[in-house]
Amino acid sequence: MKLRTSHLRTSAPGPFFLFLLSLILISAPLPAQSVQGAQTDPQDQKAKAEQEKPVKITEEILVVGKAPKDIPLATVSTIVSTEIDKLKPRDLSDVVKFIPGSMVTYGDKDTYNLKLRGIGANRIALLVDGVPVYEPYFATFDLKTVSAGGIDTIQVTKGPSSALYGPNTLGGLVNVITKRPAERPSLSLTGSYGDKKTRSAGADGSVGWKRFALSANVLYQDSDAFVFPDPNLGATTRTNSDFERINLNAKLYYTPSSSTEIMVNGGLYKSEYGMPAALSTQRARYWRFPRWDRSTLNAGGFASLGGDAVLRFRVFTVNYYNNLDWFADAKMTKLDSSSTYDNTVTGGFALADIPTGKKNALKTSLLYQRDVARIQDNPDLPWDKFDQGTFSAGIEDHFSLTDKWKIIGGLSLDYIDKFTEGENNSSLNPLVGIKFTPDDDLDFHVSFARKSRFPSMRALYSSSSGNPDLLSESGTALEFAATWSGPLFVSGTVFFNRFKNFIDTVRLPSGIRRYYNIGKAHISGFEVQIQKAFSWMAATANYTYLDHANDTDNRPLDAQADHSLNFDVSIFPVKGARIGLYGLAASKSWWWNSMTSAVLDIPSYFNLDAIASYALGGRYEIFLRVGNVFDHYFYTEPGFPWRGRYFELGVKLDMLR
């Protein structure tokens, strides 16, 4: 394979230039609104506009209104608390797999990976209450480490997303918004018990006093193991599949006025778990995390800049402290080595939304983030330390040509300050789009954007395979979308993605592997969502088709089906009762086996879960879940089968209703 490097290197602006540019954009005085030639709107139009105006909250970085005119330029799937609650989820993986264009795979290191339109987690940004949550050395995330306890809303952005988000959103963005304080004091208790002593117990509640309010939640989960239906042996316990974890989150709010909110948020996630070894394809590894912890602290809010102008701001720090034990035998009695990761992400951002006239709004952003990784390969070895800084400045202009037509243009400037002597990178990423909203139920948009992803610290600085001269990955996204929210909700998107400078490892003549910018790929396709609700039933179906390929090696992308379908059907036989059916189906996919240089087939699959629940008097709810109803053997990454049929019984108590 021929190694290629880019012939074009952008002269990188310094961090001070980015800071100065964004400071000017964010703090610029508001221009006077022109009144010449303006017509007075009727009172009913003013009332309707006020009613449809999106509510401001600190945790939301993408404001999504209810009216079609407020639908963002990108495709955004929003999952609200009532939809999340009916799934009775354990973690984030149990929710996002039911959105259009998404796929969750389970594989190496007991990791639940997210793909959005075929693009993997290492090219997707995951935020919790607007704060980035990813392991900084590997620059990726595991869905199971985001507990479902206390989640209020999930926003998943795909396609040409906003220029205000900064780098590393090549595949999209997921923002998990946890529950805010209720209008009245609240306290809910939950608990469940299932196969192999799989248990959970949680509580969430809130209280307010004058201008202060507090919301908090805690969720404890553990399990001895899970069982899978081995094609030859039948029901088989998966060795080293136990886990124990606890998640705590608390948010304190101070609201000095209706136009200002201050929030302080702290969270703690502590876990211990095993990583089942591969059953085929790759060499079995016997690993455990006796400690995988994450702690977060952030503070910020929003404030008025005058009129309808708003400034959102936040500072944050996220620490990961993980111990990984490597064993030499399957019984895990001989400890080979024990590595420790002490990694921290620290930074801040500001987002300004500034109306500059009756038909125009300017949006600007400034982001700084510093990643620090401290790694010790064994207790008797010294610590290695790496760090890098990321800077981003963005601007967007939203101009309404008429009540039905809107043009949006934007530009972001992203910059990485590398730890070593490698050349720093900068990237200039444009966004342009047109929205057409002919009536209250119909919306069309076409948009185009260029996005970039900076190399991970592992790819840059690893002593065995790092390459400090890596360039950022880049890609272009073009989409055409339509949404109709009439008696039947229908949403459809056609998209085209092209990528270059993908980072991958190459085996050199000496036998060692090293990271290089060598990859080109394309992903095109379409997705459709249909929803319909009756008094006795509600149903949603999502279908996605992908035409995808690694163009460099002329092969399909890993673990990505051409056709995928997910659906949920809820039936309400009597008042308070719900019977839900939740299905996932995917066509055959492929996997590149780097050890044998062969493309492996991953068979098609269908999985169905069923949940029956009954609410008693509005305060109590019981539920029964049957997972993998047909006890199918299937896998989404070779050697790592999913859980077989299982049962879970649970209860929820609203103590203060």
Q: Is the predicted pLDDT of residue 350 greater than 90, yes or no?
A: yes
User: For residue 633, what are the CA distances in angstroms to 277, 470, 630, 641?
Assistant: 17, 41, 9, 7
Provide φ and ψ at 82, rounded to 5°.
-65, -35
Amino acid, res. 463: S
What is the model's pLDDT at position 281?
83
Residue at 293 is within a domain: yes
Pairwise CA distance, residues 655 & 657, whole Å: 6
Contacts of 353 (CB under 8 A, 6+ apart): 63, 308, 309, 310, 311, 312, 361, 362, 363
pLDDT digits (tens, 9 = 90+) for 20-39: 333 333 333 333 333 333 33
Q: Is the predicted pLDDT of residue 156 greater than 60, yes or no?
A: yes
What is the model's pLDDT at position 23?
35
Taking residues 356-366, what's their average pLDDT? 92
Pairwise CA distance, residues 51 & 30, whole Å: 24
What is the model's pLDDT at position 61?
67
Do the Cβ atoms of 216 and 184 come closer than 8 Å? no
Length of the chain: 657
What is the model's pLDDT at position 508?
76
Q: Which helix (H) or strand (E) holds 20?
A: helix 15-27
Pairwise CA distance, residues 203 & 206, whole Å: 10
Pairwise CA distance, residues 397 & 408, whole Å: 6
Residue at 197 is within a domain: yes
Pairwise CA distance, residues 543 & 120, whole Å: 19
Pairwise CA distance, residues 514 & 469, whole Å: 12
pLDDT digits (tens, 9 = 90+) for 165-212: 888 888 899 999 999 999 899 999 999 999 999 999 999 999 999 999
Pairwise CA distance, residues 402 & 258, whole Å: 30
Do the Cβ atoms of 296 and 265 come closer than 8 Å? yes
What is the model's pLDDT at position 72?
61
Tokens, residue 130: 């607007």
What is the model's pLDDT at position 43?
36
What string of H, E and C letters represents the secondary structure of 419-487?
CCCCCCEEEEEEEEEEEEEEECCEEEEEEEEEEEECCCHHHHHCCCCCCCCCCCEEEEEEEEEEEEECC
Pairwise CA distance, residues 594 & 574, whole Å: 54
Greater confidence (194 vs 68) lies with: 194
Residue at 54 is within a domain: no
Domain range spanning residue 486? 62-654
Amino acid, res. 652: K
Taking residues 253-262, what's their average pLDDT? 94
Provide φ and ψ at 143, rounded to 5°.
-60, -30
- What string of DSSP letters covers 65-100? -SSGGGS-SSEEEEE-HHHHHHT--SBTHHHHTTST
pLDDT digits (tens, 9 = 90+) for 572-612: 999 999 999 999 999 999 998 877 778 899 999 999 999 99
Residue of 287, 294, 316 whose CA lies nearest to 142: 294
pLDDT digits (tens, 9 = 90+) for 399-449: 999 999 999 999 999 999 887 666 788 889 999 999 999 998 999 999 999
Contacts of 370 (CB under 8 A, 6+ apart): 345, 346, 347, 387, 388, 389, 390
Angle made by CA atoms 283, 286, 289, in degrees to the nearest 5: 135
What is the model's pLDDT at position 19?
34
Q: Is the predicted pLDDT of residue 18 greater than 60, yes or no?
A: no
Which letter does DSSP use for residue 657 in this model?
Answer: -
What is the model's pLDDT at position 421?
64
pLDDT digits (tens, 9 = 90+) for 203-252: 999 999 999 999 999 999 999 999 999 999 999 999 999 999 999 999 99
Contacts of 100 (CB under 8 A, 6+ apart): 75, 77, 491, 493, 527, 528, 529, 542, 543, 544
Q: Is the predicted pLDDT of residue 64 greater than 60, yes or no?
A: no
Taking residues 612-627, what's their average pLDDT? 93
Pairwise CA distance, residues 419 & 425, whole Å: 12
Domain total for the chain?
A: 1
**Parallel, antiparallel or unpaired: strands 172-178 and 124-128:** parallel
**Stated pTM of the model:** 0.87
Residue at 12 is within a domain: no
- Specify the CATH number for the domain of residue 409: 2.40.170.20
Amino acid, res. 540: T
What is the model's pLDDT at position 593?
83
Question: What own/partner pairs with CB < 8 Å and gap ≥ 24 does 468-471 have?
Answer: 468/418, 468/419, 468/420, 468/421, 468/422, 469/5, 469/422, 469/423, 470/422, 470/503, 470/515, 470/516, 470/517, 471/5, 471/6, 471/9, 471/425, 471/501, 471/517
User: For residue 46, what are the CA distances in angstroms to 50, 211, 327?
Assistant: 6, 29, 67
pLDDT digits (tens, 9 = 90+) for 294-344: 999 999 999 999 888 999 999 999 999 999 999 999 999 999 999 999 999
Residue at 530 is within a domain: yes
- What residue ranges in 486-572 does DSSP mark as E strands? 489-507, 513-533, 537-550, 563-571
Residue at 279 is within a domain: yes
Do the Cβ atoms of 262 and 252 come closer than 8 Å? no
Q: Is the predicted pLDDT of residue 634 greater than 90, yes or no?
A: yes
Provide φ and ψ at 122, rounded to 5°.
-70, -5
Pairwise CA distance, residues 586 & 555, whole Å: 19
Taking residues 351-366, what's their average pLDDT? 92
pLDDT band at 656 (very low <50, low <70, confident <90, very high): confident
Neighbours of 183 (CB within 10 A): 8
User: For residue 583, what are the CA distances in angstroms to 291, 536, 565?
Assistant: 34, 20, 8
Residue at 6 is within a domain: no
Helix/strand/coil for 631: coil
Residue at 42 is within a domain: no
